[in-house]
Amino acid sequence: MGWVANPWTAVAAAIWIQSSCGASYTFSIYSSVLKSTQGYDQSTLDTVSVFKDVGANFGVLSGLLYTAVVPYTHRSALPGSPSKSKWTSLAGPWLVLAAGAIQFFTGFIFIWASVVGLISPPPVPVMCFFAWLSANGQTFLNTTNVVTGLRNFPGHSGTIIGIMKGFLGLSGAILIQIYHTFFDGDPSTFILMLALLPSFISVLLMFLLRIYEVHGSDYKKHLDSFSVTTVIIVAYLVFIIILQNFVSLPYWGQMFEFVILMVLLASPFGIAIKVHWEESRKFTQSYTIERGSSTSKGSTSSSDSASVDQVEYTELPSGEGQVQVTTDDELPHEEDKSPLQAMCTLEFWMLFVIMISGLGSGLATINNMSQIGQSLGYSTIEINNLVSLWSMWNFLGRFGGGHISDYIMHRKGWPRPLLMTTTLGIMVIGHLIIACGFRGNLYLGPVLVGIGYGAHWSLMPTITSELFGVKHMGTIFNAIAAASPLGSYILSVRVVGYIYDKQADEDNLCFGIDCFMSSFFILAGVAFLTFLVGLVLYFRTQRFYKLVVLRRLKHYAR
């Protein structure tokens, strides 16, 4: 069972689930057919989209369920061993994945039936409910993968969360490639595929997701192997998306591209097998040596191991390393806080405001990408490619945000909120570029917005776990994330959708730079105010992060 039940297979399984469950990022593909078959205007379509965003971001239920069925174990548990609990054997992370798969299937199968005419067009509130339900299944899958990864690899939480969140962002581009290969020009069948594929993959792999306490310094290099694979996958996707912009491939060429993509996506399982084989061989060798060596040699081995751990975390600036920590009580927020305790802190509400304004403006951008492209005269294939490329930038933000935040915190001693504030400034510039409306602006503005938006989704859960603890992290983070669809509703429906409809003709269409100029100047202003909130959060948590870094250094040195 070791070849199947190990932390590396769990990472590979989580990557596959994350790669398939980002259907909320493909809304632009089927939004036009949903709008035409249901007779919606732009504001109504944006309302349905907002309920989709509410479902994709309001994951409090998934956090509560995860906390209930996956017991929290202290980080001092035996390395690499699954948690021992009768309740875990009966329930565990697989139950949360199963709940998400059911929601995914139910929501999208109803939307598909309405679009193809199997049922009459439902009232708007009913369509909003099933848009919420289908997207809310994503939070159950995402919460399981992220929190399980965080518990398994606590020493490099930014890296593992960056990988998990990165593949969730990348999943939009992967699903769109499936659309172009098998369902091009048939978005209604694509909706049916969204009902079936994520649910099937989740059910197939859900028993591989388990809790392991992985310790030591060696596992970072294995996580880096998964990271290299993700970079190769995103580079390949960017290549084929650009290629599709210039060359019309025959069907066999599209299938060849798709097969290569599937081989690349299968590589994480190859890495998991290789890592497990290496660890098994090391264990066998050390067991043989221990039996034939003296106790003194074992002591030397332990000392060497400690020194290896020290190398990973000893490169702080000398000034930062002078912080004195004598007791746990001197570490603010180090204990695990309950959701209610977290909500009584100013940091919680500052993160909440950043979610409303910063990420809400990002959602408003992607939700209206199709209409922005149409108004500025982009072709249909250009618009579809822009949606796919958004997934690339979203991925780079998520992936890079996790890795860079780990680096600046472990090596430089800089707080993670500093990087989050920087990405908010980048989003301000991106919104201004979109507002200007010059030719080619959608190949630059959404890049900046997508990277900033994606970085927040890897930084937010990591910061949440560090400020409030890991035990209730799933619930607390999802409570903060609930602010994102609220911001999306305000900014997407009440600002972007309202201004668009005021400019639209009798066919609910608008063409020209004025359709979105005013609304994106407003989004830029909102993002700037959020940038100021991020600065305040950075200064409030600066000393806390110094203490956290120092404590981790001492922990790994021991």
At 336 the three-state DSSP class reads: coil
| Residue-wise DSSP of 369-418 | HHHHHHHTT--HHHHHHHHHHHHHHHHHHHHHHHHHHHHIIIII---HHH
State CA 64 to chain mean position distance: 19
Provide the residue count of the chain: 558
The per-residue pLDDT for 49 is 84
Q: Which helix (H) or strand (E) holds 266?
A: helix 251-292
Rounded Cα distance between 283 and 293, Å, is: 15
* Residue 168 and residue 89 in contact, taking contact as beta carbons nearer than 8 Å: no
- Residue 190 makes CB contacts below 8 A (sequence gap 6+) with 26, 29, 30, 179, 183
Rounded Cα distance between 248 and 160, Å, is: 37
- Block means of pLDDT (10 residues each) for the chain, 558 residues, are 75 93 85 88 83 84 87 52 49 89 94 92 92 92 90 81 85 87 88 93 91 66 86 88 80 90 93 82 62 51 43 34 41 67 92 88 84 86 76 82 83 85 94 89 90 89 86 87 82 86 79 88 93 93 75 53
| 216 phi-psi bin (left φ>0, alpha ψ -120 to 50, beta other) | left
What residue type is 174 in one-letter code? I
The per-residue pLDDT for 290 is 57
* Residue 458 and residue 166 in contact, taking contact as beta carbons nearer than 8 Å: yes
* Residue 423 and residue 445 in contact, taking contact as beta carbons nearer than 8 Å: no
99, 115, 161 from 108: Cα distances, Å: 15, 10, 27
> DSSP code of 249?
-
CA angle 426, 49, 173 (to 5 degrees): 60
Q: How many CB atoms lie within 10 A of CB 71?
A: 16
At 82 the three-state DSSP class reads: strand
- Return the axis-axis angle of helices 42-57 and 360-367, rounded to nearest 10°: 130
**pTM to 2 decimals?**
0.76
The closest of 169, 176, 129, 137 to 57, measured between CA atoms, is 137
Scored b (16 or more CB within 10 A) or e, 108-123 reads: bbbbbbbbeeeeeebe
* Residue 202 and residue 98 in contact, taking contact as beta carbons nearer than 8 Å: yes
The closest of 15, 275, 17, 16 to 162, measured between CA atoms, is 15
* Residue 198 and residue 20 in contact, taking contact as beta carbons nearer than 8 Å: yes
Rounded Cα distance between 96 and 206, Å, is: 9
